Amino acid sequence: MADSKSEIAADARSLKELDAGIVRCRGCRLWERATQAVCGEGGARATVMLVGEQPGDQEDLTGKPFVGPAGKVLDEALEKAGVDRKDVYVTNAVKHFSWEPRGKRRMHKTPAQQEVAACLDWLLGEIRLITPRLIVCLGGTAVRALLGPKVKVLANRGKFFDSEWGPKILVTVHPSSILRVPPEDRAQAFESLVKDLARIRDL
């Protein structure tokens, strides 16, 4: 019977088994302040996997990936790119919400490299079980997890990479970055994200 994180992730025979390991994971300390782990969502036979950074406040509360403001941008961009979210599997590089208190608010905190590394077993487990043809890295944390620190998002967005995990990897920005650009530049930033995501259909 597998009991270490890497054994469970490597041996799980279904997403259900994998997710059962994820919700119990104590591989780093993020679980202590999170409401729950947020597992990936989508069809077990999806040909495309989208990988974000980590759950945000609303994802932490609902237990579902990309349901907050960044998820709304992602949904709109996918729709405009002609990709049905129901056809893709959506997950994160890190499964627990990393945050720090600011007054009464829980402010997003970029996960430390050690936390990303601790969660990689789960992401690789998802890739092994789903066998997507393409993985889309949404932003720097996902890129660092799967392609390493040398690959910079802005210099490589819209490009495909080969990966040691099997599927091709497409790099683009994180949807939340669109919300941070000045309002006058937002439409163009959104269109650039749509253009990158439309490359999913090149497959």
Contact (CB, 8 A) for 164 and 129: no
31/115 Cα distance (integer angstroms):
11
Min dist CB 57 to ligand URA, Å, is: 9
Min dist CB 200 to ligand URA, Å, is: 18
Closest CB to ligand URA among 10 and 69? 69
Contact (CB, 8 A) for 139 and 149: no
Contact (CB, 8 A) for 81 and 198: yes
Nearest to 48 by CA among 93, 84, 81: 84
Closest CB to ligand URA among 6 and 35? 35
Closest CB to ligand URA among 96 and 199? 96
Residues 6+ away with beta carbon under 8 Å from 26: none
Closest CB to ligand URA among 10 and 61? 61
Min dist CB 3 to ligand URA, Å, is: 28
DSSP letters for 72-93: HHHHHHHHHHT--GGGEEEEES
Closest residue (Cβ) to ligand URA?
52
The number of beta carbons lying within 10 Å of the beta carbon of residue 57 is 16
Min dist CB 40 to ligand URA, Å, is: 10
Closest CB to ligand URA among 11 and 109? 109
Closest CB to ligand URA among 72 and 133? 72
106 in the Ramachandran plot: left (φ > 0), alpha (ψ -120 to 50) or beta?
A: beta
Binding residues for ligand URA, rule: CB under 6 A, are 52-56, 59, 65-66, 68, 70-71, 92, 176
Min dist CB 171 to ligand URA, Å, is: 15
Min dist CB 1 to ligand URA, Å, is: 31
